[in-house]
Amino acid sequence: MNAPVTDISRLAGDAIAIDPAIRLAGVSKVFPARAGGKPVAALDHIDLTVPRGSVLGVIGRSGAGKSTLIRLANGLEKPTSGQVIVDGAEISAFSERELRQARRSIGMIFQHFNLLSSRTAAENVAFPLEVAGTPSSEIKARVDELLALVGLADKRDRYPAELSGGQKQRVGIARALATRPKVLLSDEATSALDPETTRSILDLLGRINRELGLTILLITHEMSVVRAIAHEVAVIDGGRIVEKSDVFDVFTRPQHPVTRSFLADETGSTLPPYVAAHLQREPVPGGQTVVRVIFRGRHATDPVIARLAREAGIEANILAGTVDEIAGRPFGTLTIGLPGGPTALETTLSFLARHGLDTEVLGHVA
């Protein structure tokens, strides 16, 4: 999981690097005005590529344009302008008939599973194969194989009403894979599940990505989902991609305020309440400056605060801290209080910078 995407494209050769599984080029989508209303620009000049074999997480708030983006990627909507290319085919230019064919190479899973309630698990998985005209002798073997893959071999004759949410989503995943798609699109597929079930479904998707080499475009409003499975993340806000990078960089060097707000809980970058309640913009005479120190990769385990005391004679108070692992690399944040006014602050910031650490002055407390 979380192997750098560049490694995958290098392994697969240059041709693949320049022919991503999914490409949106200059895509805008404007929904016409309803009676009395204004037109809605749901997507505004989106350029986005998903390299073959990789997992891209798209995160955004409600109304940001996430579902519209995914509906364009499977041809359910046509862009107002721009191109949508999936597995080498410009699906935004396809007729309905061509789209029906193209959708066999695009699997889709949904928040509310969208299973047929009158069909058993096995019959739900068989459905896209029946539509594609697969001979019934082949269907049974394929369905058994798919149910085994998602760990539901013993539930083949159960109806959706007899299955848990996690089991229903496993049926949804098996159904999405039935026609051997090249890409899998997921719109909030874990949003209706509890955290433990979410984890098991994300593990399954990660395994499918690695073992079948399936490209996954995953829509979510939770950074924990991105962190668990994605190689890259794109942040969408107001119909625009405001930030896109690999997962480690977005988590450890978020550029956009929306990204920061999504991350606040996830990386421990929120302040402890007793500090937050007293934080002021202006220095407080005799008080402390509150500084966040960010440790990335190999620096995450440096005893730098001890060295600050020993080498620069500055005693920092530790207010909060976490050490964590993002995309397989260590990452930590430490919030410190510095007594001693502007000179001590200057000394500390340059000391930490010399040791390769990023800092952020958050404010002042008495």
Ligand X SMILES: Nc1ncnc2c1ncn2[C@@H]1O[C@H](COP(=O)(O)OP(=O)(O)OP(=O)(O)O)[C@@H](O)[C@H]1O
- # residues contacting Mg ion (CB under 5 A): 2
Q: What is the x/- site pattern for ligand X, positions 7-46, by CB under 6 A?
A: ------------------------x--------x-x----
Q: Which is nearer to ligand X, 123 or 237 (CB)?
A: 237
How far is 289 from 309, CA to CA, in rounded Å?
16
C-alpha distances out from residue 202 to 63, 195, 205, 215, 229, Å: 24, 10, 5, 14, 7
Q: Report what 160 binds from ligand X, Mg ion, none; CB cut-off 5-8 Å by kind.
A: none
Contact (CB, 8 A) for 256 and 338 = no
How far is 212 from 160, CA to CA, in rounded Å?
26
Of 254, 203, 255, the closest CA to residue 229 belongs to 203
Q: Which is nearer to ligand X, 111 or 200 (CB)?
A: 111
Q: What is the x/- site pattern for ligand X, positions 171-210, by CB under 6 A?
A: ----------------------------------------
Report the site for ligand X in 39-98 (rule: CB under 6 A).
Answer: 40, 42, 60, 62-68
Cα torsion through 343, 349, 352, 354, rounded to 10 = -90
Q: Which is nearer to ligand X, 31 or 351 (CB)?
A: 31
Name residue 25's beta-bridge partners. 83
CB of 68 vs Mg ion, minimal distance in Å: 8
Instruction: Answer yes or no whether residue 169 interacts with Mg ion by CB under 5 A.
Output: no
Instruction: Answer yes or no whether residue 190 interacts with Mg ion by CB under 5 A.
Output: no
Report the site for Mg ion in 43-82 (rule: CB under 5 A).
Answer: 66-67
- Burial level of 228, CB count in 10 A (0-12/13-18/19+)? buried
Radius of gyration of the chain (CA): 24
**Range list of β-strands (E), the chain:** 22-31, 40-50, 55-60, 81-86, 89-90, 106-110, 183-187, 215-220, 232-237, 240-246, 288-296, 317-326, 329-338, 358-365
Q: What is the x/- site pattern for ligand X, positions 219-248, by CB under 6 A?
A: --x---------------------------
CB of 77 vs Mg ion, minimal distance in Å: 13
Helix, strand or coil for residue 115?
Answer: coil
CB of 192 vs ligand X, minimal distance in Å: 12
Helix, strand or coil for residue 181?
Answer: coil
CB of 107 vs Mg ion, minimal distance in Å: 18
Name the closest residue to Mg ion (Cβ): 67
Binding site for Mg ion (CB under 5 A): 66-67
Binding site for ligand X (CB under 6 A): 31, 40, 42, 60, 62-68, 221
